[in-house]
Amino acid sequence: MAEHPFGAPKAWTGATHFLTRVSIEMSLQLLTSNFKPVVSILGLAGLLQAIRP
């Protein structure tokens, strides 16, 4: 069983196992978990507006 900082973001995104190199896949999992609170605060339209040049 993984430690909470690694296991929780994986569970939120529905992942069960690491399929590629752990550092790459963990980075992607954490990136997606960082977007979760941003979308809940700004909404998807607000996020898309914020990242457009």
CB 10 within 8 A of CB 19: no
* Domain spans in the chain, listed from the N-terminal domain onward: 20-53
Q: Tell me 40's DSSP state.
A: H
pLDDT of amino acid 43: 93
Q: Is residue 6 helix, strand or coil?
A: helix
Give the pLDDT confidence of 12-47 residue by residue, as tens digits. 667 766 666 667 777 777 777 778 888 899 999 998
User: How many CB atoms sit inside 10 A of residue 4's CB?
Assistant: 9
Collect contacts of 1-7 with beta carbons under 8 A, ≥24 apart: none
